[in-house]
Structure 1
Amino acid sequence: MSGEDGGRTNLRMPEDDEVFATVTEMLGANRVKVRCADGTERTARIPGKMQKRVWIREDDVVLVSPWDWQEEKADITWRYEKSDADQLRQEGHIQ
């Protein structure tokens, strides 16, 4: 079930409290700077369960869940592969 056959794959879409974001800068200490689809720059945290399994780099497309009590911070909940990010751009979900 890969996207190599030219067909559309079903991707994980944002839930109610999640937004698309692009990683703009690596800050260290499991933190990254992201530009969210709603136009806000946030400092996002890479949760422990993702740290060793998912490598996050600059320009990656991710899903973040903004914090309720601090609008300028968020947690990363998902990282898209490059081919998945290209599909999201083609379908108009992200720029």
Structure 2
Amino acid sequence: MSKTPDETEKTEEFPLPDNQTTLLCIIQQLLGFDRARVYCSDGKIRLCRIPGKFKKRMWMKVGDVVLVAPWDFQPERGDIIYRYTSNELQKLEKKGLLKELKDLLG
């Protein structure tokens, strides 16, 4: 039995940063009250909100790589819109997207 192309290449799609509306960030500190301080790929530290749909379903910890959408009216703040898993981080590494974030951290 041979597998169809749909079964062999069944990859989960995950959101990628586009550098205009979303940025790759690393969680530096969890502040409580659904807030986190994150270090972003543009070199800024932002205070971000963890939306209600992630509060109980997806636990976040210090050092996680997340996708952040900065607010238009207050750019030093933003919303965490996605947390990357270890498999997704490997795919981001292959695409070279984590390189700039690692360069900024040291």
**What TM-score does the superposition give when structure 2 sets the normalisation length?**
0.75
Alignment correspondent of 1:4: none
Q: CA deviation at 1:9?
A: 6.1
C-alpha deviations, 1:30-84, integer Å up to 9, x for none?
1011001111100110001111111111110100000111111000000001221
Q: Give % identity.
A: 38
- Where does structure 1 lack aligned partners over 5 or more consecutive residues? 1-7
> Comparing 10-19 with 47-56, which one deviates more in the overlay?
10-19
For the pair shown, the structure with the greater C-alpha radius of gyration is: 2
How many equivalent residue pairs?
90
- Where does structure 2 lack aligned partners over 5 or more consecutive residues? 1-10, 100-106
Alignment correspondent of 1:5: none
For 1:1-95, what aligned pairs fall within 5 Å after superposition?
A: 10-15=13-18, 16-95=20-99
Q: CA deviation at 1:11?
A: 3.4
Q: CA RMSD in A?
A: 2.0
Secondary structure of 1:83's match? helix
> Whose helix fraction is larger, Structure 1's or Structure 2's?
2
**What TM-score does the superposition give when structure 1 sets the normalisation length?**
0.83
